[in-house]
Structure 1
């Protein structure tokens, strides 16, 4: 299929896809599941930065973010990492929910949609 660029491909999914002027992030989870919710969030946001950079853009282009917490009580810890990472001049729309995650050690999963760079049609 043309017009779609797939980034960070794994066995079952791509870490992100670029198509139609947008970057669609797969649900990102921490590489180190032993970290607390704040640490996992910081790790995930590092991954988001890397995927967006690979797509030719950055966090300022995020339009919408969805945060899933295994336990909603982790919201303050997640928000500490989020607030440290966030560009206050480019806040995306965001929702946060509680839901079980596939690996019980994961505390946080984050996905989102960003604008692709101008003329950023998939290669």
Structure 2
């Protein structure tokens, strides 16, 4: 019984795969043979194959000529009184906002070393997210 079910499954899977190849826009057997024959396995082909296999596709697709025209200099300087480290906690948005306000608070109140509490706004952020979730239930 199990052999019959397995045989039927294999037959259906095989017939489905051959049917999928005949769909318009698919890769046919003749097209696959043409691709295989066009591959010359030259040193250039090997280098390309190794580059594709061992590198991130985004780095390979990056057009260096487009980067030449990009202006990387900033025209606006934002005053800063140091930065605080989020230590990969996923709260970069919070630390960035507090660092911007921190520089203004230090200048306005003539403070030396000063940091806003990140725990307080993070708690209320989580509270609001929980509230939104519970309202959606």
- Scaled to the shorter chain, the TM-score interval is under 0.3
More helix by share: 2
TM-score, normalization: structure 2?
Answer: 0.17
Name the structure, 1 or 2, with higher relative contact order (CA <8 Å, separation 6+). Answer: 1
Higher strand share: 1
Larger radius of gyration: 2
Using the size of structure 1 for normalisation, the TM-score is 0.19
